[in-house]
Structure 1
Amino acid sequence: MQISLVREGIADAARAVVLPNGIAKLTATAYVPDAVVAPCFFVAEVDVNYDRAMGRKLDELLFTCRVLVGRQDDQASQRILDALLSGSGTASLKQAIEVARGAPGEMALDGQADDLHIQRVQGYRWYEHNSVTYVGAELIIKVIGPGDI
């Protein structure tokens, strides 16, 4: 798998999120941005486990992605974040990203991986990014695919 192409596929999938009226469109990027335009989703760190099957047939990537929401007020910001972290609904990052898994038997992320799965949300807290404070959380996404492409 090509890590950059997988990152871009995850960010593309996240852009499908539809937030409630009156809330800015979600900004989604494949890399950590210098400046955040909130609400913002970005693919951050990656852990790579090579050779999960013999002959370079399977690698495993664990991406830590972050979603950051501006601080309109404490409750409003957390409600937006809650909607983004929900397991279903038009604002659900899980639902939007897992659509990129494709149909049964199809490759995920437009052919870049065998499968992906959002494993968990962690770190629901205040984050500082480029000297600005946001409420946010991390999503851990497991991607598996051939190690020889």
Structure 2
Amino acid sequence: MQISPIRDAIADAARTVVLPAGIGKLTCTGYVPDSVVAPCFFVGEVDVSYDRAMGRGMDELMFTCRVLAGRADDRSSQRILDAMLSGAGTASLKQAIEAARGAPGEMALGGLADDLRIERVQGYRWYEHQGSSFVGAELAIKVIGSGST
């Protein structure tokens, strides 16, 4: 699996969320941005586990993604964040990203991987990014696929 195209495909999938009226669109990027326009989703760190199956049959990538909701009003920002972290609904990152798994028997992320899933949400807290504070959380996304591509 090639890491860079997978980063971009995860960001593209996250971009499909529909936030509540008046919030605007979710800014999404496959890399850590220099500056944040909230609400923002980005793919951060990646951990790679090679050779999960014989003959380079499978590698596993574990991406730590962050979603930063805002900073102007702590209560409304947390409500926006809660909507994005919910398991279902138009604003659900889980629902949007896992839709990129494809239909049964199809490759995930447009053919870049065998499968992916959001394993957990962690670190629901205030984040400092380039001198500004944002309420946010991390999403742990597991992606599996051939180690020979």
Same fold per superposition (TM over 0.5): yes
Cα deviation, residue 116, structure 1: 0.1
Alignment-derived partner of residue 11 in structure 2: 11
Gaps of 5+ in 1: none
Alignment-derived partner of residue 28 in structure 1: 28
Cα deviation, residue 70, structure 1: 1.2
Q: Amino acid of the residue matched to residue 20 of structure 2?
A: P
Q: Amino acid of the residue matched to residue 116 of structure 2?
A: L
Partner SS, residue 9 of structure 2 = helix
Cα deviation, residue 87, structure 1: 0.2
Cα deviation, residue 71, structure 1: 1.4
Number of equivalent positions: 149
Gaps of 5+ in 2: none
**1: distance between equivalents of 2:46 and 2:128?**
20
**2: distance between equivalents of 1:34 and 1:71?**
17
State the TM-score, normalized to the length of structure 2. 0.99
Partner SS, residue 17 of structure 1 = coil
Partner SS, residue 61 of structure 1 = strand
**2: distance between equivalents of 1:35 and 1:78?**
20
**2: distance between equivalents of 1:8 and 1:113?**
13
**1: distance between equivalents of 2:69 and 2:80?**
7
**1: distance between equivalents of 2:103 and 2:114?**
11
Q: Amino acid of the residue matched to residue 17 of structure 2?
A: V
